[in-house]
Structure 1
C-alpha cells in the first residue's frame, strides 16, 4: 500500500487486513519506495497506489509498478473523483480505481472483487463520456449513446427490479455472498440471478457484465427495496 499520508495508511490497514487470514501489508510513501519494497519483499498479491503521491507522475507511475509486479493487480487509491482519471486508469491497465470517498465496506468489497480476478471501477465515471470525447461531439450525437437511455438498444432496459438491485451491488464491488446476505437470499439464488443478468446483457462473465453496465450509462438507479 503506497500513499504519502501516514494517516491514510494507518486508517486503511485494519480493513485491508480483513481480506485474508494472514495479511502482510508492505507500506511505502513514494512510488520509488513502493517499487523497491515490491522488488525486495515480493511477490505480492495486490498493489494499492495513491495517484498523486511523489514519483507517480499520474499513470506513468502505475506502468512502472506493473513492470515491477507483473502478476499482481494494481489498484489506484485516490482522492480524485475525476471521470477522466478513471478512464485513464482503466486504459492503462489498472485492475481497479477506488476513490477515498468510498466507505470501508465498499472498499473491501471492491478489493475482494479485484482479488477474485475481476476489475472494479466506480460507476459515476461511466455515466458520461470523457471530456475529450465530449469536446469532439458536444451535441452528444455521435458514437454509442453511453449515457443515454433513449432507444431500445440499452441492455439495462432489459433488467427487472430485482436484477437492477443486484446490479447496483455488483458495480459497488459486492460479491455474490455479500449480495445474498444483504438481500436475505441463498447464494445459489444470487448465482441464478447473475447468470440471467449476464444473458440479458450479452456478457460472458462478471467483469464483462460490469463493463457493459458502466458503458450503458449506469446511474445507480436500483430500487431501495429488495
Structure 2
C-alpha cells in the first residue's frame, strides 16, 4: 500500500507513521510538508492524508486540486481544527474524511480502514450540524438524534466490538477471547441488531460516530 502524507510538522508525520503502518502488511509512506510538494508529480497512491492548515492550502479550491490530482485515491484531511465550517468545506470538496488530530491513534486507523473500503467518515458533531442546516453532503443523511447505541451493548459485545474495530477476523476474535467462532458470529448478529448496522463496516462506522474510544 502506498500512502502520501502531507503535514508541515515533522513531529506529526513521525507520530502518524506507526499507525499508518497498521493499515496493511506493507505500507510505503511518502511525506511532504506543503501543498506544492504534495502536488509535484502527484505519484500514484492508495491513500492521501493532508493537513488543512499547511503552507499553500487556501480554501476549498486547493482541496479540489488534490482530489483531482490523486484520483481515484481517497483524500483525507487530518486537522487540529474541529470547526463545523471547516469540516463541511472538506465534505463539499468531495474528500473522503475529516479526522481531528485529537482522535486516538487506534480510532484513526479504524476510520482510515473504513475510507479504504469506500466509506466516508466525518465527526458526529458535523453530521448533527449538517442535519440541522439541511445539508445532505456528508457520508449519509443525518437521521434524528437517537440514544447512543453503544449503551445497549453487553460487556462481552463491547469486547468483541473492540476487536472488530481493530480489524480482527471472526477467527482471530474467537482465539483472542477463547470462544467458539460460531459464538462470535452470534454476538456479532446481536451487535448489528442493537446498533442498527447491516454489516461489519457499518458497525465500526456507527461506533466511531458515537464516540467509541479504544
Same fold (TM over 0.5): yes
Pair 1:32-2:33 in alignment: no
> In the alignment, does 2:97 pair up with 1:96?
yes
Q: How far does residue 34 in structure 1 lie from its aligned partner after superposition?
A: 0.5
1:18 to 17, 22, 29: 22
Residues matched between the structures, number: 191
Q: Distance in 2 between matches of 1:98 and 1:81?
A: 9
Q: What is the alpha-carbon distance in structure 2 between the residues aligned to residue 8 and residue 76 of structure 1? A: 13
SS at match of 1:4: coil
Q: Partner of 1:174 in structure 2?
A: 165
Judged with a 3 Å threshold, the aligned counterparts in structure 2 of structure 1 residues 116 and 193 are, in CA distance, closer, same or farther, namely farther
Superposed displacement of residue 91, structure 1: 2.1
Structure 2 counterparts to residues 62-211 of structure 1, below 5 A: 62-129=63-130, 133=133, 154=144, 156=146, 161-162=151-152, 174=165, 177=168, 188-189=185-186, 191-193=188-190, 195-196=192-193, 200=196, 206=201
| Separation in 2, partners of 1:68, 1:105 | 29
Q: Is there any run of 5+ residues in structure 2 with no aligned partner, and where? A: 135-141
Q: Distance in 1 between matches of 2:205 and 2:109?
A: 18
Shift of 1:159: 5.5
In the aligned structure 1, how far is the partner of 2:154 from the partner of 2:71?
35
The CA distance in 1 between the partners of 2:70 and 2:125, in whole Å, is: 29
Of 20-29 and 119-128, deviating more is 119-128
Distance 2:150 2:54 in 1: 43
Q: Deviations over 1:20-73 (max 9, x none)?
A: 111110111111111115x2xx31000001001111113222211111111101
Report the CA distance shift for 1:11/1:177 in structure 2 as closer, same or farther (over 3 A): same
**Cα offset for 1:193?**
3.8
Secondary structure at the aligned position of 1:93 is classed as: coil
3-state SS in 2 of match to 1:68: helix
Rounded to whole Å, the distance in 2 between the matches of 1:154 and 1:209 is 20
Decide which structure has greater strand share.
2
1:52 and 2:45 equivalent? no
The answer as to 2:6 corresponding to 1:5 is: no
Task: Please give the alpha-carbon distance, in whole angstroms, between the structure 1 residues aligned to 2:205 and 2:18.
Answer: 28
CA 68–50 in structure 1, closer or farther in 2 if over 3 Å, else same: same
Match of 1:140 in 2: none
Q: Does the CA contact (< 8 Å) of 2:79 and 2:100 recur in 1?
A: yes
Q: Shift of the alpha carbon at 1:155? A: 7.3
Gaps of 5+ in 1: 135-145, 147-152
Evaluate the alpha carbon distance shift between residue 10 and residue 159 of structure 1 in structure 2; reply closer, same or farther with a 3 A threshold.
closer
